[in-house]
A and B are shown apart, each in its own frame.
Chain A
């Protein structure tokens, strides 16, 4: 990205920040980090108020702005020991890697479904967290963030948070432990009405038997045999089948339970010093809003997270690489070829420029 690209993009982002709505809980207790080149070039910043934060964004507009998932008495102090930590939100980062720069946008729906499962099946049902303490946020690029502000989880340390992530990802889960053989040789296992991993497993097995029975065994394609087995499973009896290795075959069911898009490698949940994109700020690699989502089921990131200002302004860009066709802001764009010039609505032009696929034409 050259200086002209940066200047135009930052001017546009600043205009958005002039009236953007932020919802930063305990802003004065958070550490902030900003990035102009990398995602975080400088950290240990702190703001007393939302006004101060907005003023900073307008005068020093960055491409990226993040805040700590942690709360500190002295968020600007360094080194970190002097900040006086007193807690962290419980935050999950869900994303997906994909081939090419644009492939991931076709998979965002999949990540969204995982985010919904994370909240509905795990956080609300298993962990008993209240809906009012959970915030869905689009990450602004490749996935979703889920913020939990439940005071019970505030002072958990890193290892304790890792246990939560491992539970959700099913790491260390051995589904074979769900089964016992009773005195009469019956396989006794989980019932679909049970809570937690056990019930989830039984329900997933029944769904698979009903929708794709041959995945478990060709035997189950016969209605009578399948229904007889399902009737048993509903009561926790997994013996109503002639298949000898039924338990090991059920591994395929266990694999569907994993929420693999919950990102553990980057340590967002367990690293207490991690900074996370400020909800409703701009992601500097896309120009999209890291949007706070009120209706997750109907949320479409490439429509609902697009900045909605200066709609009539258009700019000319020249593509620096081939770009595939993409649905963006209710329209279809591309495919574009390298060196192709195109006049596009400003927000669309900025998207391609920040993606590193285009530059603004000279003289703008």
Chain B
């Protein structure tokens, strides 16, 4: 793989940054337009398109479009756009990594200080790195992992790539604020407004006032508000709970539109499916196993929240304990 090819695949690396600086390319209107397209595809399709650039000049433009996209988002300061773009860029890189040699994978991993070791045929990773970049998903829970001497055993090469994807996403979410960019960047940021979730939380009629829902649901709603990505179990639990509480489907869809990888079609399909199947709200023990429990309510099922007295509810939301 040529150096330029590497930079196109992984434009967030220090090598790509250096290549861009060396090329002396300016942020022209054309680059901003390419950047805008890059972000739009990310928002529409949940993934950034892979590059089909043939000539070196096109390749440099592709890398520059990444840099310009970061400027646009840095100027927009919009959490939803930034997080959605981060998910899409990290998925693109992850797709490329799937087909790469170990050497290239390690080169990208090195950008984030991810160092794995092979010992007796096992792939090991330092636990603090594992915790930082693994998805909060039941399959990756530390409780069910082999951990010794500060290292977690990875089950496959794919898991390593998944961790690198997590690191890229985190890196993308930490975008530096851009205060006074060129006019073209400002205009591009303005154009992205149409991609923001249409229905705002204020318009939701269903009561979700603080104290009405248990702390675990409150926490998930809070994550949605901040446009954080939720793991599968969390989305499923929240949906089943809200359906169980009788929240209208349209309002659940609008809540989910806050997710950075929101896709209306898939969301509607999954919500309809959950409603049709009439899934029961999982017991607190299950929520605990999924790592979604955050208070000691002692209510057995999240649906028993309403039966608690006001003082207990307030105490649980504040301290995580009953009075």
Contact = CB atoms under 8 A, between A and B. Distances in A.
Given A156-B132, A265-B295, A128 B141 contact: no
A265 B128 contact: no
A127 to B, nearest CB: 6
Contacts of A129: 150
Contacts of A125: 148-149
Contacts of A170: 143
Contacts of B321: 265-266
Nearest to B322: A265
Nearest to A170: B143
B320 A266 contact: yes
A12 interface: no
A100 interface: no
Interface stretch (B41-49, B99-107, B284-292): B284-292
Nearest to B141: A172
Nearest to B131: A160
Contact of A171 (B146, B150, B288): B288
A172 B131 contact: no
Contacts of A152: 126, 128
B147 interface: yes
B178 interface: no
20 contacts: A126-B149, A128-B151, A152-B126, A152-B128, A156-B132, A160-B131, A160-B132, A164-B142, A166-B142, A167-B142, A171-B291, A172-B143, A172-B144, A172-B289, A172-B291, A196-B146, A197-B146, A197-B147, A265-B295, A266-B320
Contacts of B150: 126-129
A267 B288 CA distance: 15
A266 to B, nearest CB: 7
B320 A156 contact: no
Given A172-B290, A196-B148, A266-B320, A166 B132 contact: no
A164 B131 CA distance: 9
Given A160-B132, A265-B295, A267-B320, A173 B147 contact: no
B272 interface: no
Given A172-B289, A196-B147, A266-B320, 11 more contacts: A126-B148, A126-B149, A127-B127, A128-B151, A129-B150, A159-B136, A160-B131, A164-B131, A195-B147, A196-B146, A265-B296
Interface in A115-168: 125-129, 152-153, 156, 159-160, 162-164, 166-167
A177 interface: yes
B177 to A, nearest CB: 14
Interface in B133-192: 136, 138, 141-151
A166 B131 contact: no
A163 B141 contact: yes
B319 interface: yes
A153 B144 contact: no
Contact of B291 (A156, A163, A265, A267): A163
A184 interface: no
A198 interface: yes
Interface string A300-313: 00000000000000
Nearest to A177: B144
Contacts of B147: 126-127, 167, 195-197
A174 interface: yes
Interface of B: 126-128, 131-132, 136, 138, 141-151, 288-291, 295-296, 319-321
A163 B320 contact: no
Nearest to A128: B150
Contacts of B141: 163, 166, 172
Contacts of B289: 171-172, 174
A128 B295 CA distance: 29
A346 B272 CA distance: 71
Nearest to A151: B128
B265 to A, nearest CB: 29
Contact of B149 (A166, A173, A195): A195
A196 B319 CA distance: 32
A91 B151 CA distance: 20
Contacts of A197: 143, 146-147
Nearest to B152: A196
A342 B170 CA distance: 63
Contacts of B138: 172
A125 B147 CA distance: 9
A277 B267 CA distance: 47
A36 B173 CA distance: 42
Contacts of A174: 144, 289
Contact of A156 (B126, B131, B149, B296): B131
A171 B290 CA distance: 9
B287 to A, nearest CB: 11
Nearest to B316: A265
Contacts of B148: 125-126, 128, 195-196
Most chain A CB atoms below 10 A, which of B128, B138, B288, B296: B128
Nearest to B170: A157
A216 to B, nearest CB: 23
Contacts of B296: 265
Interface in A158-215: 159-160, 162-164, 166-167, 170-174, 177, 195-198
Nearest to A155: B132
A197 B146 CA distance: 7
Contact of B131 (A163, A173, A266): A163
Given A152-B126, A195-B149, A171 B136 contact: no
Contacts of A195: 146-149
A198 B131 CA distance: 20
B37 to A, nearest CB: 33
B129 to A, nearest CB: 8
Contacts of A159: 136
Nearest to A154: B128
A171 B146 CA distance: 15
A150 to B, nearest CB: 8
B295 A162 contact: no
A163 B142 contact: yes
Contacts of B146: 195-198
B150 to A, nearest CB: 2
A170 B143 CA distance: 6
A153 B150 CA distance: 11
Nearest to B295: A265
